Amino acid sequence: MDFPVITTNSLLFFTLLIFLHYPNSCLSSLILPLKAKLTQSPAVTTPNKLSFHHNVTLTVALAVGSPPQQVTMVLDTGSELSWLNCKKTPTTPSSFAPHLSTSYRPIPCSSPTCTTKTRDFTLPVSCDPNKLCHAILSYADASSVEGNLASDTYRFDNSVALPGMVFGCMDSGSSSNPEEDSKTTGLIGMNRGSLSLVSQMGSRQFSYCISGTDSSGVLLFGEANLPWLKPLNYTPMIQISTPLPYFDRVAYTVQLEGIRVAGTVLPLPKSIFEPDHTGAGQTMVDSGTQFTFLLGPVYTSLKNEFLRQTKGILRPLGDPNFVFQGAMDLCYRVELTRAVLPQLPSVNLLFRGVEMSVAGEKLLYKVPGLTRGSDSVYCFTFGNSDLLGVEAYVIGHHHQQNMWVEFDLARSRVGLAEVRCDLASQRLGLPP
């Protein structure tokens, strides 16, 4: 998502549109607010992947328990287990109190949920002294949370009840950003794992559309039968059943086959984009990561070609020691008085059966609050995953702006179509 530079406490409002299909329920749709808040430093990270270095935390307000307790949870399509802060002595209003919920149920070690459904966790679960299922979730920025698996009733807008939803009731952990983490109650996992919210809801398809110009956006569970939506082009999800050390089996993995800058295809073999025998080199579509990260050799080739095609158009920063967010070392100086960026060569990501075009303002990101003399600093929105110690290609949400992105689990494919997401929100009758 491409957000304007705003103050730390400013809020942008998104909308969550959910089509639910539950037995014995006559409800067909529900609209919830999804908030995007600018933060000063990394907030939440994703297991087995790079840390959230983005400046925006997406949150959704839910109610959990009986009677319902209001919680605010980070929405993450790259994580499996949802979790809530369940500290025994809450120090902030962002804690969930399990002892006040009559529908709260801790999960024992003997439960199949503990013994079989946790196989894709980063760390194996254990049994605590009370014979309850204990989990530790560790993240790429060295933060972690730990506690017991439990189940309770989740409620959307206090109307749609989802009983028996499994989550982590976390009572301890370490954080890279305690101030920001204290403003949310936990995290909603949305990947393909058996304990993600998507899987537990039984949803076989969901979509989202992120606007690049304003605060409107849509997340939709269920089939998108929308007459005004362009036909989607699909690329198959790549699945590997054998456990490999560097392959995330429950991520939304597709096959990147090449990259084109304007009319020039990077002179790279297709094999460089394919996972190797360890699983390193998978390509993940992830709304929880802001920018796109490429393995070192591919990133270097793209960087050199972009530099070649923008020579005389953009002025390089000229500071070899400046690396934005630890992985983005191609940055430029742009006059503060310049309102519009110059014409830039587009970068097309070539997937099997689908192309994703990254053009215009999506190619450069203005570093908030940083100037050099009378210039702003802009950085190329592709980074080097090798610098982060990540053995994967990750397609971030910044490059998914104004695209309808559909995750079709029933047919094991990802669909893309260019669309004005602000107009999509209007057509769905959502508030601006």
- Rounded CA separation 50/248 (Å): 12
User: How many CB atoms sit inside 10 A of residue 290's CB?
Assistant: 23
- Tell me, what DSSP letter sits at residue 28? -
- Rounded CA separation 362/418 (Å): 14
Strand 186-189 versus strand 69-76 pairing type: parallel
Q: How far is CA 245 from CA 48, 170, 255, 280, 420, in A?
A: 10, 26, 19, 8, 39
Q: Backbone phi, then psi, for 299, in 5-degree steps?
A: -60, -45
- Tell me, what DSSP letter sits at residue 107? P
- Rounded CA separation 37/153 (Å): 27
Strand partners, 415: 234, 406
- 1: tokens are 């998502």
3-state secondary structure of 255: coil
Residues taking part in catalysis: 76, 286
- Which helix (H) or strand (E) segment holds residue 74: the answer is strand 69-76
- 20: tokens are 């639910």
Answer for the pair 368, 409: CB distance below 8 angstroms, yes or no: no
Closest CA to 217 of 4, 6, 11, 13: 13
- Which helix (H) or strand (E) segment holds residue 129: the answer is none
- Here the contacts of 398-401 (C-beta below 8 Å, separation 24 or greater) are 398/1, 398/2, 398/290, 398/291, 398/292, 398/362, 398/365, 399/291, 399/292, 399/349, 399/356, 399/358, 399/362, 400/210, 400/285, 400/287, 400/356, 401/1, 401/2, 401/210, 401/211, 401/212, 401/362
